[in-house]
């Protein structure tokens, strides 16, 4: 064994919560350097474990990226569900939901971009489909309630849900890409939601 290999070889294989530690470190790298800089070997080094240890949780870099994206969806969906208050009238309720979505985009732009990337492991397809469906269900619940109470036009539920979700995601994508100032988007969010709803009001 060489002098150079000794420190690496002596690193422990086990770790209390290695998966969580790797994901936290990976998200920090994603935020600071981008996805191209992610390396399971470097993450292992930072965690103080052997280079083989991350393989127990992520078979390769793509599996790590998928796990990061799914973790992002889980956090986004939790924030949206917490903001989706059925006791509120339609406009403030949608504004609160939109603000939760936009706040995630403002604080995690690189993660949001990764979440909507097209390249994922085929084995993860069902998990991503479920995550996206959960996101849309927050909007669907709001639209269903608004339609039942006569607050919006009597039109196709899926079409209105998609229109609402894509409108807000468009704003989030602009923020995530740095194409539109986050502060300006958030400051004008009430107006955006109002204009969106005006087109859905029954005449």
Q: Indicate if 167 and 70 belong to the same structural domain.
A: yes
Evaluate whether residue 108 is within a structural domain: yes
Whole-angstrom distance, CA of residue 100 vs CA of residue 112? 13
The per-residue pLDDT for 10 is 42
Q: Indicate if 9 and 52 belong to the same structural domain.
A: yes
The per-residue pLDDT for 178 is 85
Q: Indicate if 44 and 102 belong to the same structural domain.
A: no
Q: Indicate if 77 and 154 belong to the same structural domain.
A: yes
The per-residue pLDDT for 114 is 92
Residue with tokens 């569900």: 81
- The pLDDT tens digits of the residues spanning 43-58 come to 888 888 887 887 788 8
Q: Indicate if 145 and 45 belong to the same structural domain.
A: no
The per-residue pLDDT for 11 is 47
Burial 35-65 (b: 16+ CB within 10 A, else e): beebbbeebbeebebbbebbeebbeebebbb
Domain CATH for 10: 1.10.10
Helix, strand, coil: what percent of the chain each, to 5? Answer: 70, 0, 30
Query: Which residues have C-beta within 8 Å of that of residue 116, sequence separation ≥ 6?
Result: 173
Q: Indicate if 67 and 15 belong to the same structural domain.
A: no
Phi, psi values for residue 178, rounded to 5°? 75, 15
Last residue of a domain, one of 38, 58, 78: 58
Domain count along the chain:
2
The pTM of this model reads: 0.84
Evaluate whether residue 16 is within a structural domain: yes
Q: Indicate if 65 and 52 belong to the same structural domain.
A: no
Question: How many residues are there in the chain?
Answer: 203
Domain CATH for 170: 1.10.357.10
Ranges in the chain, pLDDT < 70: 1-16
Q: Domain span at residue 8?
A: 1-58
Last residue of a domain, one of 58, 83, 98: 58
Q: Indicate if 71 and 164 belong to the same structural domain.
A: yes
Evaluate whether residue 203 is within a structural domain: no
């Amino acid at each position: 064994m060489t002098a150079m290999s000794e420190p690496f070889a002596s690193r422990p294989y086990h770790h209390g919560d290695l998966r969580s530690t790797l994901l936290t470190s990976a998200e920090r790298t994603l935020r600071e350097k981008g996805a191209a800089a992610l390396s399971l070997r470097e993450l292992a080094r930072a965690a103080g474990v052997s280079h083989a240890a991350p393989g127990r949780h992520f078979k390769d870099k793509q599996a790590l990226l998928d796990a990061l994206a799914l973790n992002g969806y889980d956090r986004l969906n939790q924030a949206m569900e917490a903001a989706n208050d059925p006791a509120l009238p339609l406009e403030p309720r949608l504004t609160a939901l939109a603000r939760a979505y936009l706040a995630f985009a403002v604080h995690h732009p690189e993660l949001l971009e990764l979440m909507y990337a097209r390249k994922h492991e085929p084995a993860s397809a069902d998990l991503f489909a479920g995550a996206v469906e959960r996101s849309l269900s927050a909007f669907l619940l709001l639209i269903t309630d608004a339609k039942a109470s006569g607050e919006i036009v009597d039109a196709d539920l899926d079409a209105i849900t998609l229109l609402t979700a894509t409108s807000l995601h468009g704003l989030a994508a602009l923020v995530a890409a740095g194409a539109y100032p986050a502060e300006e988007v958030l400051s004008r969010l009430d107006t955006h939601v109002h204009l969106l709803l005006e087109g859905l009001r029954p005449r």
